[in-house]
Structure 1
């Protein structure tokens, strides 16, 4: 009843293409099939998958594509479009053991890996790429964001993709909001402006963003983030000022964690967060797909935020957000 009420009160326009970030965490074939069947029931039309260099080639010249293939092939079998995220670096490229988030010392090495990945997946019919994950943060571009370094990485990787696949759509890697506390992170608008000054942003086919707002709902007047969902019109205005108003803003991660951790939300609020965001994005003709983060919980510790973003639990049981998405896709309307 709660999920039906959320669906009724927040029912979004059906034209918004929605997607889901999916991670391979060792699930067996039957479990993966159940996950993709659940996404089909939710009306998911996009799947976002990591092409994690550190996992695929942990030892130089020894590549294992199986985990990525399993997700990509299932998505295509379900007639879902695929966005691949090229990111992370094996320790042998960085000289820092265990630091798979570090950018590679040599952008040319990353471009070479990108070329191999593009050859593999373009042949399967995959043509959409996001270059790196949250390069405007110290977490994913340690120790601190560096626009010039990322610009070099993006130029090399995007050229490698397009060399293989002239049909490719290549996105600036998803920019994360900042939270106000002291950190090396740079808010998305400032970072994007610097990327335009660098000349890299103009080379992209679109900009990817991760405009989280939790624990606030996307429509709340008070937000704890800079660069969250309510700030996206200003980000697109910046793109327009720089001559890129025709390009889309892709929302490649958006969600909220349940559980008991800091900033966690209730299951009804998680459902409302996803559906309110969809309604808002539907009103923006410059916004691309809305891809939720994520399909399945990353773990089972209720106090760990990163374990609880899923709309499915680790046993594939449905949270209220999944039920609300299924009901919305099926046109189920409650009393509200």
Structure 2
């Protein structure tokens, strides 16, 4: 998002049966009794893994059957993150203690923060590496993984505001190395700039596409900077993860794909993407629309990047509340958020996502920039926060996840856990419901996110809406469901 500030499951355990051998006894008699062999105790019954894949015939439904071994296991856990603004904490109202507690409450395990060039070097100490004190304080209160944006130009250095000249890009690469040195030790991720195509030059009409040499926002100026900064970081921290891209409002990903075609990601570890649709038509302000555009980018990365695929990091996504024409209702945000979070966590090519943002940056309901938070400006939870936290807990509990769409509107995610198997499902079509029928006879529980757990219905069916529903079947070896959009 364009910054408006400068520098800145109930666990149902399978019953264990047990067999006890009966003791034999004899009465005392005057003759020596014949030897009576002691009975052999029956072995304790061992719980058997439930095969819940037997499904009734259901016209119009899609059968989904899986075992744990069918699902791909991620090489590294999906990153659940959120944006913070400690680099201009006073302006945005970011308090380290309050934010750290909200991270714990919401299952946020990573944060994204600006490291402004001239803030890292106060008083024009161009060789300095000074982190903002609110950020330092926050780092002492959280174990969340940092993602740092190496951001903005430096007017003190010729050709570095913006850094498009060779001298400016050389200086930016040196700043990137100092920033990495100043933030070492936390397995940080580094992102080269934030929405270059929108804000490297301000107060101009929105640029569509890759641009040209007459506009510094063009991809041809960003690509060499990203490549040079990535190389510089790898020289001092070879294992550091570096992301390039992070475009704002990039229709059909033209700017991002041209950046890749120009070699910006030759040494990079991932492509950063921002996904917003709050100013689209009302019908398109959905998680489904955002996921469709993200999938489009994924299909094009390798082709643009010399045949080399890279994971996607969704470093900004979300929907603003408020009264602005681009605002989205609290109820819609509350279903969009878990849909997007759970769906992307089930895509092996998405490394993680950072919600924009942790808390509202202001209190003006007409100002879009003030209203993106999971919490309001005073740290009170908004409608989407509970579903975000619950979805994050589902992701943390999962050993593997895989997504399947049904009828172009019903989303079903297959899940393996340490207890057994699960399904997470929702309708991705506003105003329409879906139906799930669970196979077999094994016990299971079900719950809608942020609601209490319930036992299975006698007919083993449930109706689902836009808020995701979790079906949890411990000790299952196979699980099958019939799914359909109603």
Sort the TM-score into its range (normalised by shorter chain): 0.7 to 0.9
In 2, the alpha carbon distance for the partners of 1:248 and 1:212 equals 19
In 2, the alpha carbon distance for the partners of 1:167 and 1:256 equals 34
In 1, the alpha carbon distance for the partners of 2:102 and 2:249 equals 29
Matches within 5 A, 1:1-336: 16-24=78-86, 25-26=89-90, 31-57=95-121, 59-61=123-125, 65-67=130-132, 70-71=134-135, 74-75=138-139, 77-93=141-157, 102-103=162-163, 105=165, 106-122=168-184, 124-137=185-198, 139-142=199-202, 144=215, 145-178=217-250, 187=251, 189-214=253-278, 222=284, 228-241=290-303, 242-243=305-306, 246-329=309-392, 333-334=450-451
Cα distance, 1:148 vs. partner? Answer: 2.2
TM-score (norm 2): 0.56
Moved more, 320-329 or 150-159: 320-329
SS in 2 for 1:84: strand
Higher helix share: 1
In 2, the alpha carbon distance for the partners of 1:244 and 1:292 equals 30
Moved more, 102-111 or 169-178: 102-111
Aligned residue pair count: 303
Runs of 4+ in 1 over 6 A off after TM superposition: 27-30
Higher strand share: 2
Please identify the structure whose Cα radius of gyration is greater.
2
**C-alpha offsets along residues 175-196 of structure 1, whole Å, 9 cap, x if unaligned?**
2234xxxxxxxx3621233223
Unaligned stretches of 5+ residues in structure 1: 1-14, 179-186
Q: 1:167 to 1:77 in 2, by over 3 A?
A: farther
**C-alpha offsets along residues 66-112 of structure 1, whole Å, 9 cap, x if unaligned?**
42x5436634653211111101123323689xxx7x44651111111
Q: 1:54 to 1:230 in 2, by over 3 A?
A: farther
Task: Identify which of structures 1 and 2 has the higher relative contact order when contacts are C-alpha pairs closer than 8 Å and 6+ apart.
Answer: 1
Alignment root-mean-square deviation, CA: 3.1
CA contact (8 A) 2:270 2:310 kept: yes
TM-score (norm 1): 0.79
